[in-house]
Chain A
Amino acid sequence: MANNRVNRVAVILLSLFLAIPAFAENVGAFQKFSMGVMLGFGPSVLTNGDRGVYSDNVSIGFALSFRMAFPLTERTSLLADIGADGCFGFVDKSSYAYRRVVDSVSTSAFDITVMWNAFLTENFFMSVGPSLRFPKIKEYVQLDGKEVYSGEPEYANDLWLDAVLGLGYKNGAFEIGLRIGYEFLGMYKETDNYFETDINELRFRVYFTYWFGQ
């Protein structure tokens, strides 16, 4: 059921990606201060280094942002996004005292992203910049199918910092693209009770933006 929903969203985004260039008439670069809304969808992968904490380290994620564009030159601008990004769940299955343990972690984060945006052609652009993220991590632990814990763990990091690369196509009010972010401060932090884990999130979001007043 969830997979069907995922497929449907992917088909819609792909259709938009193909349809928008067909109506290409306007120059994409921002000519004035603009505001828009963004909806994104795609996978997140936990890169664990040499310590695999979650056996199922891929999760579907989403992004929702309010966007602003400040033109700098004819083809470049500064983008500022304020929004939220989250993942539905990373899962680890293990055993404890002969019992099956399912540990799942979902994440959500309030994001502030600032990117330098440059149009390489009339409509295709590239963006790069940092994203400051304030995460909220929820962990659920089941023991033999019975939930024994749900809450925000003490090892959840308070701040994430992503390096973000965006590639996309903009025509008038419509923009579609792919955003890749790598979080390098670490999903978890070292505490008095837990060792450092080196878990970082690599996220891919195919997104669609509508810019007002273009």
Chain B
Amino acid sequence: MPCLQERRDGIRWNFFTAKLFSHSCFVYIKFRMKYKALLLFFSLIFAACESFEDSYIYQIDETEKEVLLTDLNGLQFSLSCRVRSGVKKCGVVFNGFVPKSQDRNCTPNSCTYTTTLFGFLDASLLTLQVEDENTHEVQSIIAYFQDDSTYMKGSVYVPSSMNQRQRKNVGREITLNGYYEGDRWINLDTTIAIMDTIFANDEGKIRFNVSDSKGNRARFAMDLGEVLKNYGSSDSEICYVGSNSYDGPRSTVPRNCWIVNSSEVIVEPEELNFEFGGKNNFIDMSGTSCISADDSVPTCRIELR
């Protein structure tokens, strides 16, 4: 008996639904005829508002053994300044490698950006050295990493959840259990304090070179004297700089910046004694658009840390 009752309810409900549906269709058709233009207008608005997401693909091309400057497309440095107790200091920091390739493939609705990065999971970077020519101090290039350290052969840093989120001395040092000397792997624990900066001298001049074990060398020089003279702690503005993500667009984080005129940063020609991967600049000042090749951007950003 309960089953029969349920069945009757079901039939009644279906009949009611069909009636409601047919009535709705009738009203809709009538409305559509009357307000055809209005409907067309709203449908166009909705179509225009439809969002299409771009996709970002990052691929890593692993390098092996000892990395030489000739293997790379370029090194990225950015400007960095700090003001502590009224004392201003400016310098450059190394923040990665120019990607191996960057492609954009677009349809009318969305774009796919594919970036191929150099990977060092099976390689050692320890033989890439940076010499501050003002102080003649020589350090591994890894010492100047500012963000995530490139994961490389011999690294004992484990990017576990706890290391990424709960570590007290975040990213201050990286330990490698060896490095390549030519094709030979040398087992030698090496700890490098990172987040160093190559500071300008009192006159605002920076000179440094990057070299490898084969004698390849790239020299770079710049003058930040005008920046040091013209800007102070009260001139800082909030700007946004990129941070890494493997499956999306580069997200941004707020930082304090000086926005300076490009003429206030003087870049002297660099010296290269080797052939490199065909890019415009072996040393790329990322985040400092004021020194682009055609000087078309009137201002540049100097990040304060």
Residues of chain A whose beta carbon lies under 8 Å from any beta carbon of chain B: 51, 53-54, 92, 94-101, 103, 139, 141, 143-144, 146, 148-149, 153, 155, 188, 192-195, 197
Contacts and interface: CB of A to CB of B under 8 A. Distances in A.
Contacts of A149: 158, 160
30 contacts: A51-B166, A53-B165, A53-B166, A94-B159, A94-B161, A94-B164, A95-B247, A96-B148, A96-B164, A97-B148, A97-B149, A97-B244, A98-B58, A98-B117, A99-B60, A101-B160, A101-B161, A101-B164, A103-B160, A139-B160, A144-B60, A144-B121, A148-B158, A153-B160, A155-B166, A192-B168, A193-B168, A195-B167, A197-B162, A197-B166
Given A144-B60, A146-B121, A101 B159 contact: yes
A54 B165 CA distance: 11
B234 interface: no
B interface, size bucket? 20 to 34
A181 B68 CA distance: 56
A194 B60 contact: no
B94 to A, nearest CB: 14
B102 interface: no
Interface string B169-186: 100000000000000000
Contact of A195 (B150, B160, B166, B247): B166
Contacts of A192: 168
Contacts of A153: 160, 162
Interface in B27-54: none
Contact of B161 (A54, A97, A98, A100): A54
B167 A98 contact: no
A143 B151 contact: yes
Contacts of A53: 161-162, 165-166
Interface string B137-166: 000000000001111000000111110111
B169 A193 contact: yes
A143 B159 CA distance: 8
B57 to A, nearest CB: 10
Contact of B244 (A95, A103, A195, A197): A95
Chain A contact residues, majority secondary structure = strand
Interface in B238-289: 244-247
A111 B280 CA distance: 65
A155 to B, nearest CB: 6
Interface in B100-159: 117, 119, 121, 148-151, 158-159
Contacts, number: 76
Contacts of B148: 96-97
Contacts of B161: 53-54, 92, 94, 101, 103
B63 to A, nearest CB: 14
A193 B247 CA distance: 29
B151 A97 contact: yes
B149 A194 contact: no
A90 B164 CA distance: 17
Given A98-B60, A155-B162, A194-B168, 12 more contacts: A53-B162, A95-B245, A96-B148, A96-B164, A98-B244, A99-B119, A100-B246, A141-B159, A148-B159, A192-B168, A195-B166, A195-B167
B199 to A, nearest CB: 26
A194 B167 contact: yes
B78 to A, nearest CB: 17
A94 B166 CA distance: 14
Contacts of B160: 101, 103, 139, 141, 149, 153
Given A94-B161, A103-B160, A143-B121, A194 B166 contact: yes
Contacts of B165: 51, 53
Contacts of A95: 244-247
A128 to B, nearest CB: 33
A100 B158 CA distance: 13
A119 B161 CA distance: 45
